[in-house]
Amino acid sequence: MNLVIPLIIPFITPILDGIARKVRAKIQDRIGPPVLQTWYDFISLFGMESIDASGSLTFRLAPYLAFGSAMAMLFLLPYGDSSPFGFKGDLIAFIYFFALFSAVVVLSGMSVESSYTMAGASREITLSLVFKPAFAVVVALFALKSGSLSIEEITHSLHLAPSVIGAYALLIYITYVEAGFIPYDIAEAETEILGGVLSEYSGRALAVFLWAFQIKRFAMIWLLSSMIVLPFVGGVKALIAQFLTALTIFILMVVYESMNARHRLDIAVRKGIKALAAGCILLILAFFGW
């Protein structure tokens, strides 16, 4: 049963995006498109030819590689009682695919000769350089505190301590950043660099890429919701609780997003460095038993 869930989720993420559009519209006093609009967009994009802007294999493969990494992230996460492909050290694998996703995005941007995609790629690299280590530090703290490298075991053996609470706060922040919400959608800034790496994609490839972004966003939020729910709830109820928590987090993030303007890269980097420093301090605290 749990094996099927990661396969269902990709079909839900466009609906979540539709809900985000509705929520945003509500905040902005608009009616907004139907909840299924993202699906309609995908269906029409899938029917369109995708133009190969660079002629390179990297460019053509990138959307599918990104989709693959996002799916791999999903498969490593726990759903209710168990994670379908969980193993000792799946946390490392999760971080690996998480980083691979960004690497693919960067490579696809570099494979076209366009200043927009190049700018998008370079922004993605810069952000990754500060936020990925920060994420790794948080994860290391959880591993240290629970003595495990498996996501499922961590969630079951975490005990609240000052450093763990701090790590939770950081995890929420980093999830928000990595989910690519404004003010951190810098690498895909539409009004500045026309969507960054996405600007040269069209048709099917664009749909796959966009879908991959949504799945990755969902995976990040699911990880956060698992960390919040699973230490306290078990059994079948856990899955429902996970989903409801993820949905709540998602909507709260959308609301926060619509109250903000986009950061400039240097400001985001400065915040990332602060997060990284905070993570390191927490890790040291955890090391000394706090």
User: CA–CA separation, 49 vs 265, rounded Å?
Assistant: 34
Tell me which of 182, 251, 273, 285 binds another protein, using CB under 8 A.
Answer: 182
Contact call for residue 189 and another protein (CB under 8 A): yes
Write the CA distances from 112 to 96, 115, 203, 254, integer angstroms.
25, 9, 17, 31
Contact call for residue 55 and another protein (CB under 8 A): no
Contact call for residue 194 and another protein (CB under 8 A): yes
Kindly report each contact of residues 117-122 with a partner whose C-beta sits within 8 Å and lies 24 or more positions away, as own/partner: 117/196, 117/197, 117/199, 117/200, 119/193, 119/196, 120/187, 120/188, 120/193, 120/195, 120/196, 120/197, 120/198, 120/199, 121/187, 121/196, 121/197
Residue 30 beta carbon to another protein: minimum distance, rounded to whole angstroms: 6
Contact call for residue 29 and another protein (CB under 8 A): yes
Q: Which is nearer to another protein, 81 or 192 (CB)?
A: 192
User: CA–CA separation, 119 vs 131, rounded Å?
Assistant: 18
Residue 108 beta carbon to another protein: minimum distance, rounded to whole angstroms: 19
Tell me which of 263, 269, 276, 286 binds another protein, using CB under 8 A.
Answer: 263
Q: Which is nearer to another protein, 44 or 260 (CB)?
A: 260
Contact call for residue 125 and another protein (CB under 8 A): no
Record the tokens describing residue 238, joined without a space: 């856990």
Q: Which is nearer to another protein, 186 or 276 (CB)?
A: 186
Contact call for residue 183 and another protein (CB under 8 A): yes
# residues near another protein by CB under 8 A: 30
User: CA–CA separation, 244 vs 10, rounded Å?
Assistant: 17
Contact call for residue 31 and another protein (CB under 8 A): no
Distance of alpha carbon 136 from its chain centroid, rounded?
Answer: 14
Residue 127 parent element (H or E): helix 115-146
Tell me which of 4, 57, 129, 267 binds another protein, using CB under 8 A.
Answer: 267
Kindly list the residues in this chain that would bind another protein in the complex (CB under 8 A). 24, 27-30, 115-116, 118-119, 122-123, 182-183, 185-186, 189-194, 258-265, 267
